[in-house]
Amino acid sequence: MGVKVRIWKGAWWLFIDHRGKRKAKRVGVGKEGRKAALAAAEQIQARLALGDLSPLERPEPPTPFEPYARRWLRETVTPYRKPRTAEFYRGLLEHHLFPVFGAEPLTAITRARIRELIAAKTQAGLSRLSVRNLVAALRAIFNQAVEDGLLAVNPATRFGRYLQHRQDARAAVAVLTEEEVARLFAAAARWYPEHEVLVRLLFLTGLREGEAFGLQWGDLDLAGGFLEVRRTVDVRGGRWLVVPPKSGRSRRVDLPELLRATLAGFKSLREAEAVVEGREPSPWVFPALQDPSKPLNASWFRRHVWYPLLAKAELRQIRVHDARHTYASLLLQRGEPVGYVKEQLGHASIQMTVDLYGHFIPGANRAAVDRLAAAIEAAQAQLPATPAQPAGTAEEGDVVEVGEIVGAPGVTRTPGTRFRKPLLCPPELRGPADLRGRTPSL
């Protein structure tokens, strides 16, 4: 009965036997291990004598990161966030965090390990924004672990100095000119007529990719000349996701008259095709070719239409999203109000619109400087006329004349000195003959 210290397999152990309960614990090796084991034995013996049985209790095994992170995703993210957001976090976990921390206990993931992860992902070419998202996910998971009492502190906080996003958002903006857009429309009409309406709509409304594919005929008011963005669609993990727009609220987008006429003809054609095929017309404006009950797959459109179309139009390879950038920039270049463009795009603030597209208004900037120059010219014209001076004369205080003499090569700059180096200055570059060798009078 009691606590005994023994050496076993080269190490010092504690063997506790108290009221039928037993427990063994390895302490250490060598003299230090023996000393620590003896000290621990005294403390445990005293606690047992006082009725404290905690030394005999077996601690719960540490919680691995992966199952706890899956629980966080299931309980904290999925019920309260958009499906696309939950899929986004699931992708971060599966592709980046589980391969590194999956089987490790939560308590083993230290700040040093997270700092190593940040450095490794940055050196591997992952964007700073993606690395920021990784750390944000870790921070949220460990916040929950702290709330659950599994951790004392959150190791994923205060990494801002490693995650500063220095990339200029405007660097990702690629736009086409009006002439290039016209070439793209002509190429679509020739090579991809079944998708010409979609190409036109992307450039003439500024809709996001998922918003365009999520359009239903009930969202269009062709008589009123507008459409309503009510949803966005995407495919994640082989599943269709139909969710509210990015801002979380619907918005109204004006339709140009030519596009309204094109959409009206397009709708009539789709309805006629449905009658011929003996089915109900698809609710989607741009349905999938094989299954009209589903919207067109954005990934398929990019691979089979968008990038081949750019090649046939002999244009550089840009993203589908750059049609939105082109729409905004061309409107601003034509002098349309920034507030109107902001509403068309559905930006949360006008500052976002200015930050992204403000540099596409060179005409407005030139007009501003032209107005400034014209104002100065007008003010100068109002000044009283100054009488012309006779040639070769100078008035009192005429600094320009004096400066030309004092600063001329070969002329003494400091009054009262006779320093000159005529060899360093050819005669033709020296001052007037009557002034050489003497200081001009001020």
Residue that terminates a domain, selected from 360, 377, 404: 360
Q: Is there a domain that residue 393 lies in? A: no
Residue 374 lies in a domain: no
Same domain, 162 and 181: no
* 141 and 44 share one domain: no
Give average pLDDT by consecutive 10-residue segment, the chain, 442 residues.
80 80 79 85 81 65 91 92 86 94 92 92 88 93 88 86 62 85 95 96 96 96 95 82 82 95 95 93 94 92 97 95 93 89 91 79 58 77 68 48 44 48 51 48 44
Looking at the structure, tell me whether residues 233 and 285 fall in a common domain. Answer: yes
CA atoms within a 13 Å half-sphere pointing along the CA-CB vector of 388: 3
100 and 116 both lie in a single domain: yes
Q: What is the CATH number for 71? A: 1.10.150.130
Same domain, 228 and 332: yes
Could you tell me if 73 and 14 lie in one domain?
no
CATH number at residue 212: 1.10.443.10
User: Do 326 and 356 belong together in one domain?
Assistant: yes
Question: According to the model, what pLDDT value does residue 163 have?
Answer: 75
Residues 134 and 244 in one domain: no
292 with 158, same domain: the answer is no
Whether 95 is covered by a domain: the verdict is yes
Q: According to the model, what pLDDT value does residue 412 have?
A: 47
29 and 103 share a domain?
no
3-state SS assignment for residue 64 = strand
Range of the domain at 301: 172-360
Please give the backbone phi and psi of residue 13, each rounded to the nearest 5 degrees, phi first: -125, 155
pTM check: above 0.85:
no
- Boundary residue ending a domain (167, 201, 233): 167
Last residue of a domain, which of 14, 33, 56? 56
Is residue 185 domain-shared with residue 285, that is, in the same domain? yes
Q: Is residue 206 part of a domain?
A: yes
Residue 135 belongs to a domain: yes
Q: Is residue 267 part of a domain?
A: yes
**What pLDDT, on the 0 to 100 scale, is given for residue 12?**
85
Radius of gyration of the chain (CA): 39
Residue 210, pLDDT score: 94
Domain count, the chain: 3
- 77 and 40 in one domain? no
Residue 412 lies in a domain: no
Is residue 280, in this structure, part of any structural domain at all?
yes
